[in-house]
Amino acid sequence: MSAASTSADATASEQPLTHRQIVTILIGLMSGMFLAALDQTIVATAIRTIADDLQGLEHQAWATTAYLITATIVTPLYGKLSDIYGRKKFFVTAITIFVLGSILCTFSTSMIELAFFRAVQGLGAGGLFSLALAIVGDIVPPRERAKYQGYFLAVFGTSSVLGPVIGGFLAGADSILGVTGWRWVFLVNVPIGIAALTLVSKTLHLRHTRLDHRIDWSGAALLSVSLVPLLLVSEQGREWGWTSGNAIACYAVGVLAAAAFFWQEARMGEEAILPLAMFKNRTVGVSSLASVLIGIAMFGGLASLPLYLQIVKGATPTEAGLLLLPMTLGIMTGSISSGQVISRTGRYRIFPVVGVGLLMVSLFVFHYIHFDTPLWQTMIVMVFFGLGLGFNFQPLTLAVQNAVPPQQIGVATSTATFTRQIGGTIGTAVFLSILFSLVPEKIASAMKVVVPTPQFQEALRDPANAAFAKEFAQSQSSGGGSAAASSGVLQDSSFLSSLDERLAKPFLMGFSDAMDHVFLVGAAVMVIGFVVMWFLPEVELRKGSAYQERADAEAEAKV
């Protein structure tokens, strides 16, 4: 290459991207994010139907937790590899793996199989969100990022509306083209994924200078070994016993692997998959700890609310998804308003602090929602819960990206996503474990209160309820009425929708009372999060994009 052409390339690279160039790139990014966002809303809406059909409602957490575990583990790996080799090839890889996992999920014959295939999906999902956010961090200056935030909000808003409708329709269909309806929940990702791959290939063109770094494969392996046993015991602890041999073995393996992981990361220094020196930065350290706590509360709440709406309130999957729209409205309102204010003022700290406060209060109020609470009251709380999430999503990621050098944007963004997913994985596993551990006890307590009432006894004598009355009488005579009933509803809760409301009352009370404890634990976690967030510093936002700053540095190095 001639000196003149080299100089021309350097000069061109120093120029910031135009609005049109940024929007063109965003089109490709949004296609990948839409794939993941739509899948989450569709699956969340349909999971109860899927679990009932596969005879494993009590194993529902596995399908979510397995997905989150693999997504969490590979997220920092995507960030590090994309810093070294460039973002596009790994974004394409993430989409491809996600689509392959979706196809495998279609063939599931049990909840355990589904969980395994969802884990494959997670291997792709771990790169979709983190790489898209990293690329935005590359090309858009922090102060201007709010201008483009609306595009991503449009993706999440559209998926939040379409997901419940599509998921409810597919889950409610007995068969479509000879394939069981709920299997299309995963199969629908195939054409969307192909469209995303096409758009990314045509629009995502970024110049990348390879960085010469070693890849911390040992760190990635140790991270996996440390996380999986601890998450496994959080999911299975209620069945094994929290002090059983299996649980103690998981604790030991997880703690030893975690110690080895931190030793490995300290040894690798800047080459580490999660550079420990980065956490010495106060902004990164506080944001990361806060993100873990927010993830616990957020995913715990998001896992419980659809179950409350479907099991306790009797909503169909489609209705449950649409009933969650107030929360989506809160998320979008919080994200847009915080983004606009940050863009004008350059100040971001107030939003995460207020947001965590809203999450704390909302979860505490959810604790007081019972089986007979009017839906409109629940939906008001959802708005404030969503507002709290919206105040945290963009500002925390923005704070972390702004606090690190341009060369670390990928690993910093993946760290922000990683910590939130760690919290989400823990929250989903622990909260659903708490829920399903308490349900039998709470149903038994509700039975003692409701069964003697005239309304319940009258319903038992009703000829229309003869089948249930016979089964109930048999279980009572064997001395295991409440236990048998609660065990049955944990296997398949679909019978509640057609059961006489007088007979269903103790089941609904049991589920609702168990969920109250889940929300109360979430509120307690957010109290800690609120304290942590007060230590988040306010750092002036850079006015140049990481992409431009790297290009300028490269041009100076050539001079």
pLDDT tens digits, residue range 153-169?
667 667 766 777 787 77
Q: What is the pLDDT of residues 192-210, one digit of tens each?
A: 888 888 888 887 776 655 5
Look at 201-210, 226-235, 291-300, 307-316 and tell me which has the smallest mean pLDDT.
201-210
The stretch 61-79 carries a mean pLDDT of 79
Percent of the chain with pLDDT over 90: 10
H, E, C per residue of 279-318: HCCHHHHHHHHHHHHHHHHHHHHHHHHHHHHHHHCCCCHH
Q: What is the pTM of this model?
A: 0.75
State the average pLDDT for the chain.
Answer: 78
State percent of the chain over pLDDT 70.
Answer: 82
Instruction: Find the helix or strand (DSSP H, E) in which 175 lies.
Output: strand 175-176
- Ranges of each domain in the chain: 17-205+273-440+516-558, 216-272
Q: Average pLDDT, stretch 362-369? A: 90
Tell me the average pLDDT across 280-292: 88
Helices (H), 173-216: 184-187, 189-203
CA distance 137 to 416: 12
User: pLDDT band at residue 477, thresholds of 50, 70 and 90?
Assistant: low
Average pLDDT, stretch 411-428? 78
Supply 1's token pair.
């290459």
Average pLDDT score over residue span 503-531 = 87
How much is the pLDDT for 428?
A: 74
**Res 509: pLDDT:** 85
| Section 222-233 average pLDDT | 80
Position 557 confidence tier, pLDDT thresholds 50, 70, 90: low
Instruction: Kindly give, in sequence order, each residue whose CB lies less than 8 Å from that of residue 479, ignoring residues fewer than 6 positions away.
Output: none
The average pLDDT across 521-540 equals 90
Q: Mean pLDDT, to the nearest integer, of 240-259?
A: 85
Cα–Cα distance, 558 to 209 (Å, whole number): 13
Instruction: For domain 17-205+273-440+516-558, give its CATH number from 3.40.50.720, 1.10.10.10, 1.25.40.10, 1.20.1250.20.
Output: 1.20.1250.20
Q: Is the pLDDT of residue 504 over 60?
A: yes
Q: Which residues contact 471 (CB under 8 A, 6 or more apart)?
A: none
Lowest mean pLDDT among 233-237, 407-411, 445-449, 526-530: 233-237
| DSSP-assigned beta bridge partners for residue 180 | 175
pLDDT at residue 495 tops 70: no
Lowest mean pLDDT among 192-201, 417-426, 490-499: 490-499
> Residue 362 — pLDDT band, cuts 50, 70, 90?
very high
178 or 287: which carries more pLDDT confidence? 287
- Coil, strand or helix: which one is 241? coil
Name the more confident of 199 and 271: 199
Give the confidence band of 531 by pLDDT, cuts at 50, 70, 90.
Answer: very high
Name the pLDDT band for 100 (thresholds 50, 70, 90). Answer: very high
Token readout for 7 is 């100089």
pLDDT attached to residue 466: 74
Query: How would residue 547 be classed by pLDDT, with cut points 50, 70 and 90?
Result: low
- Residues 313-333: b if buried by 16+ CB within 10 A, e if exposed: bbbbbbbbbbbbbbbbbbbbb
Residue 251 has pLDDT above 50, yes or no: yes
Mean pLDDT of 292-304: 79
Cβ atoms 213, 84 nearer than 8 A:
yes
Split at pLDDT 50, 70, 90, the class of 222 is: confident
Number of residues that make up the chain: 559
